[in-house]
Amino acid sequence: MNKFELKYRLSFFIGCVLILLSAGVQAQQKLQQFKPGALWMDDKGNHINAHGGGILFYNGMYYWFGEHKGEGSNNAYVGVTVYASKDLYNWKNEGVAFNVNDDKASLTQRGSIIERPKVIHNKHTKQFVMYFHLELAGQGYGAAYAAVAVSDKVTGPYKFLRASRVNPGHWPLNIPGGDRRQRINPDDYKTWWTDKWREGVEKGLFVQEHLYSGQMSRDMTLFVDDDSKAYHIYSSEENLTLHIAELSDDYTQHTGKYIRIAPAGHNEAPAIFKRNGKYYMITSGCTGWDPNAARLLVADQIMGEWKLLPNPCVGDGADKTFQSQGTYILPVAGKKDAFIFMADRWRPKNPIDGRYVWLPVQFKNELPVLSWLDEWDLKVFD
Ligand code: DGJ
């Protein structure tokens, strides 16, 4: 080995040691701030892998459930992960809450698509109930299924119950009886985005088409109201129209009662919260993995009417939701009017590297406002 080679090897070795040391220090250091868009390490020093996620607060602990993502593919090769935290900054990796499997006959086999998992707790059955958007292996985004899984333990393992489209045979509450009898001929509405087509969608073109198979269900969230009633909120009708569907008392089934919101409004990524008796929903438009401007919807009753309001984001980056797409709005336990907007900064070429953008929800004239912060902590709510 010549002198040059020796020097090169030595500096490479020292570099490696320094990187390992700093990773170790980072893993041990307690975080005390949110840094939207930055790498976010768990207790083991790995970037948190819980995309499109949601959080359940249970017994003094926050549980963050999300999509496990690998490199180069959005498909599910692991399942739904779960992390636990007491302070919302520092997260312990609790492993896989819902596992995909190797059974080629299974709907949740390795290689299917599992998106936007959310978990709620049922006080009566004491069960934890997980819903997620499921697409079948090798079938792209064609299935548009809602999947349900349950567990007696918050961190799982969650047992798969079923996956299907939603509420087969049921008309939405806000398509009145008379209108249900009129036959909408799909051949009359072949060209999308025309005024005539919009009218058709509004009248229920896709609701009618999917009436017997059940309504499509893609991007989704769950919401438990103060009276313990739970709701499944999802992009339906080819992602054109949001639905809010009531869940059974044990939370594992749909009751057949649902409403449609903003027909042909093309809303995805619904995230919802309640403040002072009013319901607020922040959604995105539909541009695949690319960010777009968020939308705000407000209602006095969960089952509507919902009113569409302008983008709640303000300032630099507002037109692209600060390069992210919402996934959940978390009420901070023990603090009044404290809500965190949780969003994903997708990295479709390397999904595991997707980042999290968490921002505090501020209020102006009783309406939520989101603005960018490089870093922040929970004191903003005091
Ligand atoms: C955007 C959605 O919000 C994501 O959950 C995912 O379905 C992608 N579209 C797929 O393109």
Q: pLDDT per residue over 116-142, tens digit each?
A: 999 999 999 999 999 999 999 999 999
**8 CA to centre of own chain:** 47
Angle at 98 between CA 96 and CA 103, to 5 degrees: 115
Residue 107 has pLDDT above 80, yes or no: yes
Determine the average pLDDT of the residues in 254-282: 98
Token pair, residue 166, equals: 């939603």
Pure H helices in the chain: 3-28, 177-180, 195-203, 205-209
Distance between Cα 33 and ligand 1 center (Å):
28
Instruction: State whether the beta carbon of 235 lies less than 6 angstroms from ligand 1.
Output: no
Residue 260 near ligand 1, beta carbon < 6 Å: no
- Give the C-alpha distances (Å, rounded to integers) separating 189 from 199, 203, 216, 286: 9, 11, 19, 21
Q: How many CB atoms lie within 10 A of CB 345?
A: 19
Q: Is pLDDT at 15 greater than 90 in this prediction?
A: no
Q: Is the CB of 325 under 6 A from ligand 1?
A: yes
pLDDT of residue 178: 82
pLDDT band at 314 (very low <50, low <70, confident <90, very high): very high
Q: Is the pLDDT of residue 76 over 60?
A: yes
**Would you state the pLDDT for residue 2?**
58
Helix (DSSP H) and strand (DSSP E) numbers for the chain = 4, 22
For 30, the token pair is 């307690």
Pairing of strands 254-261, 306-309: unpaired
pLDDT in tens, 170-191: 999 999 888 888 889 999 999 9
Regarding the beta carbon of 289 and ligand 1, being less than 6 Å apart is answered yes
Atom of ligand 1 nearest to the CA of 116: 5
Ligand 1 centroid distance, CA of 66 (Å): 14
> Element (H or E) spanning 370, and its range?
strand 367-371
Q: Which residue has the higher pLDDT, 213 or 178?
A: 213
Residue 285 Cβ < 6 Å to ligand 1: no
The answer to whether the CB of 271 is under 6 A from ligand 1 is no
Q: Quick one: which atom of ligand 1 is closest to the CA of 113?
A: 7
Q: CA angle at residue 228 from 222 to 229, to 5 degrees? A: 60
DSSP 30: P
Q: With a 6 A CB cut-off, is 116 part of the ligand 1 pocket?
A: yes
Weakest-pLDDT range from 14-23, 98-107, 222-231, 344-353: 14-23
Rounded to an integer, what distance in angstroms lies between the CA atom of residue 236 and that of residue 242?
6
Whether 26 has a pLDDT exceeding 70, the answer reads: no
Backbone phi and psi for residue 264, each to the nearest 5 degrees, phi listed first:
65, 15
- How far, in Å, from the CA of 287 to the mean position of ligand 1? 8
3-state secondary structure 310-323: CCCEECCCHHHCCC
**289 Cα: distance to centroid of ligand 1 (angstroms):** 6
What is the CATH architecture assignment of 32-381? Answer: 5 Propeller (2.115)
| Of residues 97, 103, 104, 95, the one with CA closest to residue 128 | 97
**Among residues 362, 339, 270, 356, which one has the least CA distance to residue 64?**
356
Q: Is 237 in the pocket of ligand 1 (CB under 6 A)?
A: no
* pTM (2 d.p.): 0.92
CA dist., res. 365 & res. 356, Å (int): 28
Contact 163, 134 (CB under 8 A): yes
CA 307 to chain centre: 21
75 lines ligand 1 (CB under 6 A): no
Tell me what the pLDDT averaged over the chain comes to.
94
At residue 63, what is the residue type?
Y
pLDDT of residue 1: 53
pLDDT at 16: 46
Please give the Cα distance from 34 to 63 (Å, whole number). Answer: 17
